[in-house]
Structure 1
Amino acid sequence: MGWKTVFISSKSKLSYKANHMIIQTATDIKEMPFSQIGCVVVSTTQTVITSYLIAKLMEQDIKVIFCDNDHDPCSELTPYYSNIKRNQNIEKQISWTISKKEQLWTEIVTNKIENQIQIMKAFHLDTTEVIAELDQIEDNDHSNREAIIAMKYFPAIFGTNFTRGTHDEITNVMLNYGYTILLSTINQEVVSQGYLTQLGIHHHSLQNDFNLSSDLMEPFRQFFDLEVLKLRDEEFNLDTKLRLIDVLNHEIKYDGKSYLIRNAITKHIQYCFKFMDSKKDSFIKVGIPDEV
């Protein structure tokens, strides 16, 4: 699987030829080798894509995201048979113990909150209340410190009048777009490693097909928060979307090594699964760089 995100924003036809994706517009024809493609974002409803290309993309575990009339992500494609150990892994996933789930969720939430604190410190914001809340976190976050801290964190970095509930506000639109791209990337990794996105360790909504991905993505959300902080005064246009997608290509440290975020996500999910299968005893944290 490649590293490039192919963003289709104009009327075009997508087809297959010799392990390449063919992008045909009114004025041009381009060929993109599968070996370079990690994800295809179809951002316009004026695009035609052949079923043969879809089948070939799924064979290569290449994510495809479709957008609606407003150019916002609305659905994605994931393959059925992307891992030969899928049935075995699903059986293990079903048998994960409650104590293991609670232990991992505590680590994930703590990691997320620590990243939020790091961002606040980078912008010289008062972290006293947030740190005090973190100090009170319980196993499985039974007291829901995550939500309490979110109500302090978002107004602190985006302004006192900001609330995550205002879906048509430009900052929220950007955050939602970035988080959707992140969620799709997590889905791709979960499925490619032979697990079900529906069965979470903490999220368990009957209306959410991505409960597990919603759990595992939490320590990576803050990288999109940082990018939105840079973009929030700009228009939400094609360039803005491309910059949000490109967050996945930012470099970070994970387990003492440098990775692109998209590759760190792979390592993070692999490690979480090993932790749940009792092959690892500790949790490796996803860290925000000191200089943001």
Structure 2
Amino acid sequence: MGWKTIFISSKSKLSYKANHLLIQTATEVKTIPFHQIGCIMISTTQTVITSYLIAKLMEQDIKVIFCDNEHDPCSELTPYYSNLKRNQNIEKQISWSISKKEQLWTEIVTNKIENQIKIMKIFNLNTSEVVEELNQLEENDHSNREAIIAMKYFPAIFGNNFTRGNHDEITNVMLNYGYTVLLSTINQEIASQGYLTQLGIHHHSLQNDFNLSSDLMEPFRQFFDLEVLKIRDEEFNLDNKLRLIDVLNHEIKYDGKNYLIRNAITKHIQYCFKFMDSKKDNFVKVGIPDEV
């Protein structure tokens, strides 16, 4: 899988040429080899894309994300047949035990909350209440410490009057954009490894096609929180959207090695599946760097 996210923001035609993406605009023609591309984000409704290119992109397991009139991600394309063991993996996924699901969800929630605490400490914020809530976390988070801590965490880092419920507030717009980019990346990885995004370990909404993605993405949300903290007082223009997309190219330490976040996501999902399949006994935590 490639490493580049191709961001299409102006009127153009996208087509296929000799295993390359061909981008034609009014002033120039560019070609990009498929092996370099991990994702194509089409941020304008004035772009035309050929069906032959779409078929070729799906063969190479290259994600395509479409944006609406507000330039916000609204849908994506993923291939039907991205893994030779897909049927076998889906059968395993359906048979995952409740106890295993609860164990993994407990680890994921703990990791997420620890990352939130780390961010608060970086900005010298009082973490005592959040730490107290974390100490009360039960198996499978039956008492919903995750939601209680979220109501303390977001106002702490973004201001006392901030709530996640105000979808028109610019900080929430930025967060939602970043989380959508992250969700799309998680979807791509789950599909490429031959599992269903619909069957979650904790999320079970009948209206959510990405229940498993919503579960596994949680320890990575905080990297986008950090980036939004840097840009929240600025206009949410193309440059800042690109900054949020580029979060996936930030380097972190995972399982004792340095990875780009997009590659750490691949490892994280592999490890989660090995844990669920009883091929791995421990959960590898996603950590926030000491310096941001």
Corresponding position: 1:184 with 2:193: no
Match of 1:152 in 2: 152
Match of 2:63 in 1: 63
Match of 1:107 in 2: 107
Query: Secondary structure at the residue paired with 2:215?
Result: helix
Query: Secondary structure at the residue paired with 1:5?
Result: strand
Query: Secondary structure at the residue paired with 2:239?
Result: helix
Match of 1:283 in 2: 283
Q: 1:167 Cα shift?
A: 0.4
Match of 1:81 in 2: 81
Q: Distance in 1 between matches of 2:143 and 2:203?
A: 15
Q: Distance in 1 between matches of 2:226 and 2:281?
A: 31
After TM superposition, the structure 1 = structure 2 runs for residues 121-200 of structure 1, keeping only pairs within 5 Å, are 121-200=121-200
Q: Distance in 1 between matches of 2:117 and 2:184?
A: 26
Match of 1:8 in 2: 8
Q: 1:291 Cα shift?
A: 1.1
Q: Please list every run of 5 or more consecutive structure 1 residues that lacks an aligned counterpart in the other structure.
A: none
Q: Distance in 2 between matches of 1:233 and 1:7?
A: 23
Q: How many positions carry a matched residue from both structures? A: 292
Identity %: 88
Deviation sequence 1:49-78 (CA, Å, 0-9, x none): 000000010111100000000000000000
Match of 2:47 in 1: 47
Q: 1:244 Cα shift?
A: 0.1
Match of 1:227 in 2: 227
Q: Distance in 2 between matches of 1:71 and 1:262?
A: 22
Deviation sequence 1:113-172 (CA, Å, 0-9, x none): 000000000000000000000000000000000000000000000000000000010000
CA RMSD of aligned residues (A): 0.3
Q: Distance in 1 between matches of 2:170 and 2:157?
A: 15
TM-score (norm 1): 1.00
Q: Distance in 2 between matches of 1:161 and 1:254?
A: 34
Query: Secondary structure at the residue paired with 2:223?
Result: helix
Corresponding position: 1:202 with 2:194: no
TM-score (norm 2): 1.00
Letter matched to residue 52 of structure 1: Y
After TM superposition, the structure 1 = structure 2 runs for residues 254-265 of structure 1, keeping only pairs within 5 Å, are 254-265=254-265
Query: Secondary structure at the residue paired with 1:140?
Result: helix
Match of 1:28 in 2: 28
Deviation sequence 1:253-292 (CA, Å, 0-9, x none): 0000000000000000000000000000110000000112
- 4+ long deviations beyond 3 Å: none
Query: Secondary structure at the residue paired with 2:224?
Result: helix
Q: Distance in 1 between matches of 2:24 and 2:291?
A: 42
